[in-house]
């Protein structure tokens, strides 16, 4: 294995920012161990940009990332920082990095994290590579983001349990999952759980369509159903849709379950551990090859570096065939 590099980078800092996602620790581990392989000094910034501004920076050793690959959350903690979005805040952050002679950054997070990283690397000419860590799977330039697969499996496990009680009581359950702007969790969890209808922000499925489906199900004497709703759906959240259905079908025993932050926590599954390890490795390798202002992603099982502007702003669409399939299989 070669240790050749094309830059003079000697010190790298890694941080996690924004919402946590299962697999972030696996990515941190990969960054630290890849950096150590290349004889680099590696630092961890606690609490993301907030910690960068406060100078909460510590040296990381390989032994410090042992036994963390299976842990949820992030050992570096995370936070959202309004101060970093000001020139004064970024100036303080840069001064603290320079105090530790840090040459480059690995930013693990989502849209907001990369927005801040993009501005920062342009202002101060410090190399930054992003690692997509968000359960929403809404970043362009990678098939999956870290935490997405685990979040889907968490949602499906919850809905399997809800199905048991729905079956026992002949109830109609509305289950709300995360996804303010993207329906990837809702679509995949809906298909995997056999939901009767899936409401996503990107699709035009209406409450009227659900009403028609329930009428057809009633004629077939279908006694219960699961309906999955992404929190950012255009027709409203699970409670709003359930209220409309209850008014139309007062004889239905309707219930609402909001899975919420359960989807963020827990041990990452195998897919997320492998994906996070790949992305952490490719982030360090990319920096040493002279790349900056890009996100490391995996597309068709190959590494792809996507500029921050595209990763943030380009729309990652739902698979229309999967949307069509979900409708057909729910009949």
Q: Which residues are catalytic?
A: 136
DSSP character string of 101-168: T--EEEEEE-HHHHHHHHHHHHHH---EEEEEB-TT---TT-S--BTHHHHHHHHHHHHHHHHHHHHH
Check if the beta carbon of residue 16 is closer than 8 Å to that of residue 129: no
**How far is Cα 73 from Cα 254, in angstroms, rounded to an integer?**
34
Sign of the four-CA dihedral 134, 60, 280, 126: positive
Q: Which of 127, 130, 124, 94 is nearest to 111 (CA)?
A: 130
**How far is Cα 275 from Cα 202, in angstroms, rounded to an integer?**
26
Q: Which residues are registered as beta bridge partners of 295?
A: 130, 306
Torsion angle of the four alpha carbons 35, 98, 130, 263, in this order, in degrees rounded to the nearest 10: 90
Token representation of residue 52: 């960068």
**How far is Cα 285 from Cα 289, in angstroms, rounded to an integer?**
6
Give 48: exposed, middle or buried? Use CB within 10 Å, 0-12, 13-18, 19+.
buried
Residue 325 contacts by C-beta under 8 Å, 6 or more apart in sequence?
191
């Amino acid at each position: 294995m070669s240790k050749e590099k094309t830059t003079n980078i000697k010190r790298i800092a890694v941080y996690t920012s924004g919402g946590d996602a299962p697999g972030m620790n696996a990515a941190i581990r990969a960054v630290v161990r890849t950096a150590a392989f290349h004889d680099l000094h590696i630092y961890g910034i606690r609490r993301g940009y907030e910690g960068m501004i406060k100078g909460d920076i510590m040296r990381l050793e390989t032994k410090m990332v042992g036994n963390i690959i299976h842990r949820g959350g992030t050992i570096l903690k995370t936070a959202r920082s309004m101060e970093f979005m000001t020139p004064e805040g970024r100036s303080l952050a840069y001064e603290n990095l320079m105090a530790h002679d840090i040459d480059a950054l690995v930013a693990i997070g989502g849209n907001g994290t990369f927005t801040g990283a993009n501005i920062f690397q342009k202002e101060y000419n410090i190399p930054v590579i992003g690692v997509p860590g968000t359960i929403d799977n809404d970043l362009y330039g990678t098939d999956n983001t870290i935490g997405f697969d685990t979040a889907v499996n968490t949602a499906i496990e919850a809905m399997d349990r809800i199905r048991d009680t729905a079956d026992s009581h002949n109830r109609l359950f509305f289950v709300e999952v995360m996804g303010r702007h993207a329906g990837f969790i809702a679509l995949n969890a809906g298909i995997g759980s056999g939901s009767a209808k899936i409401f996503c922000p990107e699709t035009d499925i209406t409450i009227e369509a659900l009403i028609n489906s329930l009428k057809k199900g009633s004629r077939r004497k279908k006694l219960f159903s699961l309906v999955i709703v992404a929190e950012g759906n255009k027709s409203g959240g699970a409670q709003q849709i359930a209220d409309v259905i209850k008014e139309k079908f007062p004889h239905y025993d309707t219930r609402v379950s909001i899975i919420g932050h359960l989807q963020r926590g827990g041990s990452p599954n195998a897919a997320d551990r492998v994906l996070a390890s790949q992305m952490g490795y490719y982030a360090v390798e990319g920096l040493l090859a002279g790349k900056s202002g890009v996100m490391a992603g995996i597309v068709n099982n190959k590494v792809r570096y996507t500029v921050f502007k595209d990763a943030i702003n380009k729309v990652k669409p739902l698979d229309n065939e999967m949307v069509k399939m979900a409708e057909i299989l729910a009949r």
